[in-house]
Amino acid sequence: MSDPSEFYPMPSFPTLAVRDLNASLRWYEMLGFKTVFVMPGPGGAPALAHLRWARYADLLLRPDPTDHGTRGLGMTLSFAVQDGLDAIADRAKANGASLLREPGDRPWNARDFTLADPDGFVLTFTMGPLKRDMTMDQVVANVRRP
């Protein structure tokens, strides 16, 4: 995990509109995200939260209490994990998260799991490569197998 106080230009970052910024902030921190800062808005209520999973894996949350139905439909945010993938999944489940896909080894030479945040945004946490000696051609052939 990188230092949340480290400043660098962010080449890309998703911004998620969440119903309850404080609740979402706690949920993401439970997964292991670090809070870089929370910006107050009018009246002092949080207007934006900047979170960091790892260097160049930043995420912004902003409040939007309106009902947009399913949020992030068709979008999945993926985050690389160096170790402890199953522990993250276990912690998420212990805190009431429903996994959309349990941790498992995948044909693309990685172990991953998928869950949805309280607003329905889908996140995949992935760890790999599992076999460091596999070439890309071997991975592609493995994925193409029925």
Angle among Cα 112, 116, 118 to the nearest 5 degrees reads 145
Residue 53: name the closest of 137, 125, 142, 132 by CA.
125
Could you tell me the domains of the chain? 1-68 (3.10.180.10), 70-146 (3.10.180.10)
Give backbone dihedrals phi and psi of 105, rounded to 5 degrees, phi first.
-80, 135
Question: Within 10 Å of residue 61's Cβ, how many Cβ atoms?
Answer: 28
Distance (Å, whole) CA 124 – CA 77: 6
pLDDT digits (tens, 9 = 90+) for 131-141: 999 899 988 98
pLDDT at 63: 93
pLDDT digits (tens, 9 = 90+) for 47-104: 999 999 999 999 999 999 787 677 777 789 999 999 999 999 999 999 999 899 999 9
Note whether 21 and 40 are within 8 A (CB): no
> To 10 degrees, the CA torsion angle through 88, 91, 97, 103?
40
Sheet holding 57-63, edge to edge: 15-18, 57-63, 46-54, 34-40
The crossing angle, in degrees rounded to 10, of helices 85-94 and 21-31 is 140
Distance (Å, whole) CA 2 – CA 115: 23
Check pLDDT > 90 for residue 22: yes
